[in-house]
């Protein structure tokens, strides 16, 4: 039967997002699987290449994204309780997302200056062998797809903030914000996995 109540509709939306998250786990899971298989074949080369990745920038971004999850959850709580100005926390979350993209862009520029961008200006330094380039292909594909997800999240955050400002949500109906929160946590969790795989594990000696 179709929705008898807003609560049932909200729970259904959440279930839909959980199922979507399962597909995303497989999407990024396939990439991480391929990454670890290749890392297993060329541990020294991956460690060499991984040490050229910018771990400080990666760590800053991890802090930014974790903070944004905190503001996201706080925003949901405010909307749930019907407080005014909940949209400000949503906008703050979006701003932190933009900061992440800014840092990431700066990191890409640094990567370019280090001549580690495959096909564009990749340079094999002394002691490096071709498999090192494979590390960087994974790096750009993984962070690129993550950035696309984050950008979509920021766009939806802005829409939700505007809807909140117009009073479209209430303690009885806030399912879209809560569902967005799930998506934002997914983007956050994927980053944690990518961060661990690329920066600390990337530079670990075999």
Partner 1 sequence: MSAITADLPPSYLTHEFTLRSWLLSTDHKRIALLFFASITFFFFVGGFAATLIRLHLINPSTHLLQPDTYNRMFTMHGIVMVWFFLIPSIPTTLGNFLIPLMLGARDLAFPRLNLGSWYLFNVSGLLAIYFLVAGGVDTGWTFYTPFSTLFSNGHVIAAAVAVFVNGFSSIATGLNFVVTIHRLRAPGLTWFRLPLFVWAIYATSVIMLLATPVLAMTLALVAVERWLGVGVFDPSLGGDPLLFQHMFWFYSHPAVYIMILPAMGVVSELVTCFARRPVFGYSGMTYAMIAIAVIGFFVWGHHMFVAGISTFSAIVFSLMSFVVAVPSAIKVFNWTATLHRGSISFEAPMLYALGFIGLFTIGGLTGLMLATLDIDIHVTDTYFVIAHFHYIMVGGTVSAFFGGLHFWWPKITGRLYSEACARGAAILTFLGFNLTFFPQFILGYLGMPRRSYTYPPDFQVWNVLSSAGASILAVAYLMPLFYFAWSAFRGERAGPNPWRATGLEWRTSSPPPERNFERTPVVTCPPYQYDPVDGSYVAQDGVANA
Residue ranges binding partner 1 (CB under 8 A): 1-2, 8, 11-12, 15-16, 19-20, 22-24, 26-31, 33-34, 37-38, 41-42, 45, 118-119, 122, 129-131, 133-134, 137-138, 141, 145
3-state DSSP of 3-47: CCCHHHHHHHHHHHHHHHHHHHHHHHHHHHHHHHHHHHHCHHHHH
Residue 21 Cβ vs partner 1, minimum distance, rounded to whole Å: 10
Nearer to partner 1, 67 or 128 (CB): 128
Nearer to partner 1, 34 or 192 (CB): 34
**Total Cβ atoms within 10 A of residue 59:** 13
Cβ atoms of 206 and 51 closer than 8 Å: no
Nearer to partner 1, 34 or 59 (CB): 34
Residue 29 Cβ vs partner 1, minimum distance, rounded to whole Å: 8
Residue 116 Cβ vs partner 1, minimum distance, rounded to whole Å: 13
Nearer to partner 1, 118 or 200 (CB): 118
Residue 22 Cβ vs partner 1, minimum distance, rounded to whole Å: 6
Q: Which two tokens stand for residue 174?
A: 């806030």
Cβ atoms of 132 and 48 closer than 8 Å: yes
Q: For residue 115, how many C-alpha atoms fall within 13 Å in the half-sphere facing its CB?
A: 6
């Amino acid at each position: 039967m179709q929705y008898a109540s807003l609560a049932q509709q909200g729970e259904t939306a959440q279930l839909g997002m959980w199922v979507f998250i399962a597909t995303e786990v497989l999407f990024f899971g396939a990439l991480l699987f391929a990454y670890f298989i290749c890392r297993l074949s060329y541990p020294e080369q991956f460690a060499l290449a991984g040490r050229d990745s910018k771990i400080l920038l990666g760590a800053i971004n991890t802090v930014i994204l974790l903070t944004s999850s905190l503001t996201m959850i706080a925003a949901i709580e405010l909307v749930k309780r019907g407080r005014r100005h909940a949209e400000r926390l949503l906008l703050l979350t979006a701003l932190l997302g933009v900061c992440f993209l800014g840092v990431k862009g700066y990191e890409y520029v640094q990567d370019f200056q280090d001549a580690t961008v495959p096909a564009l200006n990749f340079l094999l330094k002394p002691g490096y062998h071709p498999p090192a380039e494979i590390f960087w292909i994974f790096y750009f594909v993984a962070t690129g797809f993550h950035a696309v997800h984050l950008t979509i999240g920021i766009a939806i955050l802005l829409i939700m903030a505007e809807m909140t400002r117009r009073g479209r949500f209430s303690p009885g109906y806030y399912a879209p914000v809560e569902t967005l929160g799930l998506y934002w946590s997914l983007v956050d969790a994927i980053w944690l996995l990518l961060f661990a795989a690329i920066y600390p594990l990337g530079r670990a000696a075999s």
